[in-house]
Amino acid sequence: MNKIICDKEDCKAEIPQTKDLIETKYLSGGIQINFFRCKKCNAKYLVSVTDKVTREKQIELRKWSEQHNKALGINIKGMSEEELKKLTILADETKYNMDRLQEEIKVSIAKLKAKYEGEL
Ligand SMILES: [Zn+2]
């Protein structure tokens, strides 16, 4: 399990970073700020900031990722050359889309973090 140490003076409590402990603050315009809270001193630690477009991309990424894993999991034994070729293209295409979306999501989250971290 990941954890961070609270950096507030006289606190230094361990803050476990599990998904179920992430809290979300909702701003107008569909902005969501995800953060952890120190149970001891209540300090907040930013995890990520998303807008509607970014969250849609995250869903799209999950779909491509599932398709990619499915393609990789297919048993190629007894496949014709033609089928193998198609499968390779599918695996490449899904990987390409995953990488593209991952990069786009990374960039937009970084921009949103810079813009909204003061709102936490
Ligand atoms: Zn603390």
pTM: 0.83
Token digits for 13? 């409590």
DSSP letter for 98, please: H
Strands 23-27 and 31-37, how do they pair?
Answer: antiparallel
Q: pLDDT digits over 14-47, tens only? A: 998 888 999 999 999 999 999 999 999 999 999 9
pLDDT of residue 1: 63
pLDDT of residue 17: 85
Radius of gyration of the chain (CA): 20
Distance of CA 48 from the midpoint of ligand 1 (Å): 19
The total number of residues shown for the chain amounts to: 120
Alpha-carbon distance of 33 to 45, in angstroms, equals 10
Rounded mean pLDDT of 57-84?
96
Rounded mean pLDDT of 107-112?
97
Burial class (CB in 10 A: 0-12, 13-18, 19+), 50: buried
Cβ count within 10 A of residue 5? 11
pLDDT of residue 9: 87
Distance of CA 49 from the midpoint of ligand 1 (Å): 21
Distance of CA 71 from the midpoint of ligand 1 (Å): 45
Token digits for 1? 């399990």
Distance of CA 24 from the midpoint of ligand 1 (Å): 18
Using pLDDT thresholds of 50, 70 and 90, give the confidence band for residue 119. very high
Average pLDDT value for the chain: 94
pLDDT of residue 64: 97
Token digits for 7? 């950096």
